[in-house]
């Protein structure tokens, strides 16, 4: 039954241009959104940029431009990258969008009216790169003897003292534990849920949610001397996009059935602070939080200071958009950390795309040309591949449903491998034209049709070309699952086109 599906990526900071880490979360979200569109779900896919705060103000200053210019430039780079990678978002939110300020103010006014915000003095350690406070005990020793280092960026923390507005996070320790108890599947994978529970059980301290020393932020409705702390404005983007404070009916149709995708660096904000803020505003916490690990390069998290960032455009030039998307979806399981390897990317491209998918298409087109006059025959109702196709659909559905693209694509590629195996055992190219040749080729054409649909969340371009070459009209993305995946949908009698290799084999550049 089609339903509604709301999914989000983090909104990315505009101090730096997108690298393959940002692309990983965004492409995963995009593929999942595309899968849900195939199921006929009304899908809303949100991404965007996080533009306020000290980190952005400082990077603008370092670049000799205004924070607004910094935000405009870098936000445009994110949009260009997502366009390059065929990311089909429904909204690209910028925290400087006017409707966002209105929602942040309405939301936090509600929390204030509910009695969870008060004024107090703050003094403590702060990391600007994380835009986060740290207790002394959370900082790592500084080999240079200065202030302790934050555990994520390993930069010296700074001492901050300010009169700020505070959020009574401590009031939500028990409500959060109760909520997690009643919603055991809210955070996936399970290890990340335990991490979130561990943070809550350690005890929650109230936190400052405003800044008096900065004006690059959303104004506080009840205090014109301060702005909101960037994380409090940023998290609320998920509510802005679905009409919190501006369109209550729309908000109620989408919330709380959201799927937030994020990496473990921002688990505390999404799995502790955000649910607590929602409870404080009288709303339900987010229904699903999917937390993945880091994509590392040379064993280290990518960062400007490690000089190990890899940019999507450089890989797209060599592998194409489909080669790029396929590699990250197929080779980086959603959950654990994974090290990027150029050699693995070449190997995966050649094995799965050139040798399996591409080869199936070119073999079928060549033999249909030789033995069937270029007209594709229909599949057999009793084909040995029918059961394999049903299993592929069932396994892919279960895997996409739990945000496991690697498993979904593996299930889909099993079907391609079985079709290639059938061709190898029956060798239709050696047989005289007749029912057996027609049957085998019809079956293989049906597999190409099915795979074009099932792989369309990952391969946005080549599947449309396969669809066209086997003579079908429309597009694989217009199909509706599960009906379109029943065996026998390829009608036969269609012209099949031989063409250039879909995925030319690649050699590693030395
Ligand atoms: O944290 N591996 O923005 P951000 C995997 N603005 N994923 C990575 C990654 C890596 N090496 N590097 C980045 C912020 N990511 C806040 C978010 S949300 C309300 C505010 C991805 O630009 C991953 O999704 O630092 C990670 O959580 C996110 O980018 C952090 O992006």
CA angle at 167 for the pair 259 and 161, rounded to the nearest 5°: 120
Question: Parallel, antiparallel, or unpaired for β 187-188 and 288-292?
Answer: parallel
- The answer, yes or no, to whether any atom of ligand 1 lies below 6 A from the CB of 234, is yes
Distance from residue 10's CA to the centre of ligand 1 (Å) = 6
Residue 306 has pLDDT above 80, yes or no: no
Domain count, the chain: 1
pTM of the full structure: 0.95
Compute the distance between CA of residue 11 and CA of residue 49 in angstroms, rounded to an integer.
4
Distance from residue 431's CA to the centre of ligand 1 (Å) = 56
Q: Which whole number is the average pLDDT over 6-23?
A: 97
In a domain? residue 425: yes
Calculate the alpha carbon distances from 163 to 108, 192, 207, 211, 219 in Å. Answer: 18, 34, 12, 8, 16
Residue 299 has pLDDT above 90, yes or no: no
Residue 2 has pLDDT above 90, yes or no: no
In a domain? residue 284: no
Beta strands per DSSP E along 412-470: none
- The answer, yes or no, to whether any atom of ligand 1 lies below 6 A from the CB of 25, is yes
For 57-102, write each residue's pLDDT tens digit. 999 999 999 999 999 999 999 999 999 999 999 999 999 999 999 9
Distance from residue 230's CA to the centre of ligand 1 (Å) = 15
Compute the distance between CA of residue 469 and CA of residue 483 in angstroms, rounded to an integer.
22
In a domain? residue 453: yes
CB 503 within 8 A of CB 358: yes
In a domain? residue 208: no
In a domain? residue 293: no
Q: Which whole number is the average pLDDT over 354-371?
A: 98
In a domain? residue 356: yes
The domain in which residue 419 lies consists of 341-495
Mean pLDDT, the chain, whole residue set: 96
Query: Residue whose CA is closest, atom 8 of ligand 1?
Result: 21
- The answer, yes or no, to whether any atom of ligand 1 lies below 6 A from the CB of 209, is no
For 98-138, write each residue's pLDDT tens digit. 999 999 999 999 999 999 999 999 888 999 999 888 988 99
Q: Of 7, 8, 12, which is best to mutate to test ligand 1, by the most ligand atoms within 8 angstroms of its C-beta? A: 12
In a domain? residue 390: yes
In a domain? residue 466: yes
* CATH number of the domain that residue 399 is part of: 1.10.730.10
Closest CA to 12 of 255, 396, 312: 312
For 229-281, write each residue's pLDDT tens digit. 999 999 999 999 999 999 999 999 999 999 999 999 999 999 999 999 999 99
The answer for 488, left when phi > 0, alpha when psi is -120 to 50, beta otherwise, is: left
Q: Of 22, 290, 299, which is best to mutate to test ligand 1, by the most ligand atoms within 8 angstroms of its C-beta? A: 22
């Amino acid at each position: 039954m089609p339903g509604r599906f709301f999914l989000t990526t983090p909104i990315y900071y505009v101090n730096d241009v997108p690298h393959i880490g940002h692309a990983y979360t965004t492409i995963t979200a995009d593929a999942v959104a595309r899968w849900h569109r195939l199921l006929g779900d009304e899908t809303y896919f949100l991404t965007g940029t996080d533009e306020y705060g000290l980190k952005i103000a400082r990077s603008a200053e370092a670049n000799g431009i205004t924070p607004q210019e910094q935000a405009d430039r870098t936000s445009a780079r994110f949009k260009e990258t997502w366009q390059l990678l065929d990311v089909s978002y429904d909204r690209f939110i910028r925290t400087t969008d006017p409707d966002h300020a209105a929602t942040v103010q309405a939301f936090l006014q509600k929390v204030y009216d509910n009695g969870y915000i008060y004024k107090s003095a703050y003094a403590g350690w702060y990391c600007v790169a994380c835009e986060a406070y740290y207790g002394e005990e959370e900082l790592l020793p500084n080999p240079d003897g200065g202030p302790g280092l934050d555990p994520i960026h390993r930069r010296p923390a700074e001492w901050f003292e300010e009169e700020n507005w505070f959020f009574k996070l401590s009031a939500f320790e028990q409500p959060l534990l109760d909520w997690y108890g009643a919603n055991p599947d809210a955070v996936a994978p399970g290890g990340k849920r335990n991490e979130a529970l561990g943070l809550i059980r350690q005890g929650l301290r109230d936190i400052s949610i405003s800044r008096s020393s900065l004006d690059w932020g959303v104004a506080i409705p009840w205090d014109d001397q301060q702005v909101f702390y960037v994380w409090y404005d940023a998290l609320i983007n998920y509510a802005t996009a679905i009409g919190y404070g501006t369109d209550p009916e729309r908000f109620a149709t989408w919330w709380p059935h959201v799927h937030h995708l994020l990496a473990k660096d921002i688990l505390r904000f999404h799995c502790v602070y955000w649910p607590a803020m929602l409870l404080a505003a009288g709303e339900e916490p987010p229904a699903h939080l999917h937390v993945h690990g880091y994509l590392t390069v040379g064993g280290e998290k990518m960062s400007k200071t490690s000089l190990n960032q890899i940019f999507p455009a450089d890989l797209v030039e060599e592998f194409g958009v489909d080669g790029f998307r396929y590699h990250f979806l197929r080779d980086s399981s959603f959950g654990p950390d994974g090290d990027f390897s150029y050699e693995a990317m070449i190997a995966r491209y050649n094995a799965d795309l050139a040798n399996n998918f591409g080869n199936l298409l070119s073999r079928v087109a060549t033999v249909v040309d030789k033995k069937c006059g270029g007209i594709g025959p229909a599949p057999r109702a009793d084909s040995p591949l029918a059961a394999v196709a049903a299993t592929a659909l069932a396994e892919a559905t279960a895997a996409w449903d739990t945000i496991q693209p690697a498993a979904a694509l593996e299930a889909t590629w099993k079907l391609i491998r079985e079709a290639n195996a059938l061709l190898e055992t029956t060798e239709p190219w050696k047989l005289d034209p007749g029912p057996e040749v027609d049957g085998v080729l019809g079956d293989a054409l049906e597999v190409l049709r099915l795979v074009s649909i099932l792989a369309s969340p990952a391969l946005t371009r080549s599947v449309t070309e396969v669809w066209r070459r086997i003579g079908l009209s429309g597009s694989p993305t217009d199909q509706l699952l599960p009906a379109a995946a029943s065996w026998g949908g390829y009608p036969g009698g269609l012209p099949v086109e031989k063409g250039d290799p879909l995925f030319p084999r690649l050699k590693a550049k030395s």
